[in-house]
Every structure is written in structure tokens, then in C-alpha cells.
Amino acid sequence: MHFQLPPHSEIKMVRCIAGQVLDVIVDLRKDSPTFLQWNSVELSAENRNMLYIPEGFAHGFQTLTDNCELLYHHTALYKPGAEGGLRFNDPRLGINWPITPTVISERDHNHTLVDNFFEGIKI
């Protein structure tokens, strides 16, 4: 689950143009009533849906078919050093992935778990 920290926060719009994915977002906004809650939507070439991801949300996806292609639109350039991440299997988030993840990058596998000191992002 990836995000950019202020002042390099970004809005993303994501669309699946080949295959099918489950796209997941997590609200990281410090003062939000939905803080640390997640939502998911299926994106596919067939349903042609697009997901709008506001600033202050973490984002990740799981491929549901082979040969997936995603199209991203960002409102800001990627800024190394301003990136953050949460573990896809963090028990505090409780994300319900439909398929047991089997291929996970070392970077994603090593993100920290959310603890009681995690304050979120101030937008």
C-alpha cells in the first residue's frame, strides 16, 4: 500500500486497460472519520471503471487475471524520499484480499505495521 507524504501528496486516477484487478485504498488522513478504513473496487478492461484516489490515501492492487495493464494519472511527480507504505497484510487494516498473495516485492513485504503511534497524514 503506497502513498506520497506532504507536500508531495498526489491525487491518482487508475484504470485497468487489460485484465482484471482488485484496487484497494486506505484512508490515512489524520482527522478523517474513516481513518484507517479501506475500500476496494474491481477494475477491468471489461467494466471500464476508473478509481479516483484522493490525497492522503494509500493505494495498492491485486491482479485477478494474467496479463493485467493499468493506466495511472497523477497530479504530482514521484518524489523519492517522500514515499511511504503500509503492509498489505497488516492485521490492523484487515484488508480482505480475494486471493492469497504469492508474489510480493521485498520492499512491500518490509513495510512496517500500523501501531498505536501511527498518526496518519495531515493534508
Can you tell me whether residue 108 is helix, strand or coil? helix
Whether 56 contacts 9, CB under 8 Å = yes
Spatial CA neighbour of 56 closest among 113, 112, 7: 7
Residue 52 a catalytic site member: no
What is the rounded distance in angstroms from the CA atom of residue 87 to the CA atom of residue 53?
18
Exactly one of 72, 73, 78, 109 is catalytic; which is it?
72
DSSP letter for 75, please.
S
What is the rounded distance in angstroms from the CA atom of residue 26 to the CA atom of residue 36?
6
Catalytic residues: 2, 72
